[in-house]
Amino acid sequence: MNFTKNKTTAIAIAIFLTISMGASTLLVPNANAHTPAWNIPTFAFINAAPNPVGVGQKAYIIMWLDDTYDPATNTSNNYRFQNYKLTITAPDGTVTTQTFATVADSTSAQDYAFTPDQVGTYSFNFTFPGHTITTSNDSPTSQLINDTYLPSTASTTLVVQQQAISNYPTTPLPTSYWTRPIYGTNSNWYTVSSNWLGSGAPGYSGFAFYSSTQSSYPGDAVGPLTGHVMWTKQIQSEGVVGGNNTAIAGDTYFEGSAYNQRFTNPIILNGMLYYNPPVSFAGSTSGPTTCVDLQTGQVIWSRSDVPALSFGYIYDVQDPNQHGVYPAILFTSSWRAFDAYTGNPMFNVTNVPSGTTILGPNGEHLILTLTNCGTSTNPQYYLAEWNSSNL
């Protein structure tokens, strides 16, 4: 059809959107939609794993459709399928249901953690009730407005036994020399490859030992069981000066670390050591920020444009789009961010509140503040939380 020659027809077949204009209403055509509306078939799938599983052990139920919600728009917004229904029938006939009002995953998948408490065979039924795209649940300009994803259903079973199933076999911990990166299949090696985020990170306060009130070091930080020297770096002149031009013959260079620290707030991320060597007595962190391979002592980078650092930041992202850790970031005390791998500047964070800082479950910084918005005689306290993951 040639819309340029038949504008009346073009308007007639378009889907109209209602726009409120005071007391009256104006209908505007949606040129992206089509007539008649489509009925789009869907095919439902469901899986339970591991299968079989032991009573009291966790299994995961995965439900999904062969289609994704309006693929023209779902990757850039929060429009999703709705009202997935999971019906669970236990071996004794007990029936429970779980409805998921909004499916968060843009790929149409929904998972459900299930812990069986009976021995026998559980039945699972996944029902997709269908979904009609309207302007209230999708973009007003979507080409699929008024189209309907048709209902579908799928079933599966889960065998539950009395004996617990074995955990997935893991790679034994190393007993000899090993290097980074650590293979992803060696996931239990995290117990011998800890990071040290620095004194600016919550829970890390220098080299102090455990106190009765707060742990001053990460609980998973482990060191070698035997003393040994891997490499050394000289940070100042040392030993006997030599000659007779000193006040005391045979005098030695001043050490003075009780008054002028030479090696403060080291940070360790992914096997890399970050520190600032001193420049004479200009200050303990007056030298360039230096990144060194912790095992070999090799200098990876050294930059005078990177200020002294406060803490390392490793943020673990677990959402429908990503499962894994972001590349490590280095922060100064004023929240200037630098890439840990190169030292390149990334961004600055402003207006960070003061308060009590704790480390969140995914590595984020949570700053708690308690503010009296009233008066001393009529106080109105408000507890607020600043979350660095919202950056």
Domain regions of the chain by residue span: 1-31, 39-161, 351-391
Work out the pLDDT band at 134, boundaries 50, 70, 90. confident
Spatial separation of the C-alpha atoms in residues 197 and 179, rounded to whole Å: 20
Work out the pLDDT band at 144, boundaries 50, 70, 90. confident
pLDDT in tens, 79-89: 788 899 999 99
Work out the pLDDT band at 290, boundaries 50, 70, 90. very high
- Written as one letter, the residue type at 225 is L
Bridge partner residues of 60 (DSSP): 49, 113
122, 158 Cβ separation under 8 angstroms = yes
Fold of 39-161: Immunoglobulin-like (2.60.40)
Work out the pLDDT band at 1, boundaries 50, 70, 90. very low
Residue 131, both tokens:
């979904």
Q: What is the mean pLDDT of residues 368-377?
A: 94
HSE-CB for 286 with a 13 A CA cutoff: 11
In the chain, what percentage of residues exceed pLDDT 90? 47
Q: What is the mean pLDDT of residues 133-148?
A: 75
pLDDT at 219: 59
Q: Is the pLDDT of residue 21 over 50?
A: no
Q: Is the pLDDT of residue 66 over 80?
A: yes
Q: Is the pLDDT of residue 100 over 80?
A: yes
What does each C-alpha distance from 203 to 13, 80, 113, 253, 359 come to in angstroms? 64, 39, 32, 36, 7
Dihedral angle sign, alpha carbons of residues 281, 284, 286, 289? positive
Q: Which of 12-21, 162-171, 317-326 has the lowest mean pLDDT?
A: 12-21
pLDDT at 151: 95
128, 170 Cβ separation under 8 angstroms = no
Residue 169, both tokens:
């076999």
pLDDT in tens, 229-254: 889 888 888 889 888 888 888 888 88
SS (H, E, C) the chain: CCCCCCHHHHHHHCEEEEEEECCEEEEEEECCCCCCCCEECCCEEEEEECCCEECCCCEEEEEEECCCCCCCCCCCCCCCCEEEEEEEECCCCCEEEEEEEECCCCCCCEEEEECCCCCEEEEEEEEECCEECCCCCCCCCCCCCCCEECCEEEEEEEEEECCCCCCCCCCCCCCCCCCCCCCCCCHHHHHHCCCECCCCCCCCCCCCCCCCCCCCCCCCCCCCCCCCCCCCCCCCCCCECCCCCCCCCCCECCCCCCCCCCCCCCEEECCEEEECCCCCCCCCCCCCEEEEECCCCCEEEEECCCCCCCEEECCEEEECCEEEECCCEEECCCCEEEECCCCCEEEECCCCCCCEEEECCCCCEEEEEEEECCCCCCCCEEEEEEEHHHC
Q: Which residues contact 298 (CB under 8 A, 6 or more apart)?
A: 292
Q: Is the pLDDT of residue 58 over 60?
A: yes
pLDDT at 127: 97
135 vs 298, more confident? 298
Q: Which of 11-20, 137-146, 194-203, 246-255 has the lowest mean pLDDT?
A: 11-20
How many Cβ atoms from other residues are within 10 Å of residue 80's Cβ? 22
pLDDT in tens, 108-130: 899 999 999 999 999 999 999 99
pLDDT at 372: 94
Work out the pLDDT band at 57, boundaries 50, 70, 90. very high
Work out the pLDDT band at 222, boundaries 50, 70, 90. low
Q: What is the mean pLDDT of residues 31-53?
A: 88
The pLDDT mean for the chain works out to: 82
21 vs 362, more confident? 362
State which of 248-252, 297-301, 359-363 shows the largest mean pLDDT: 297-301
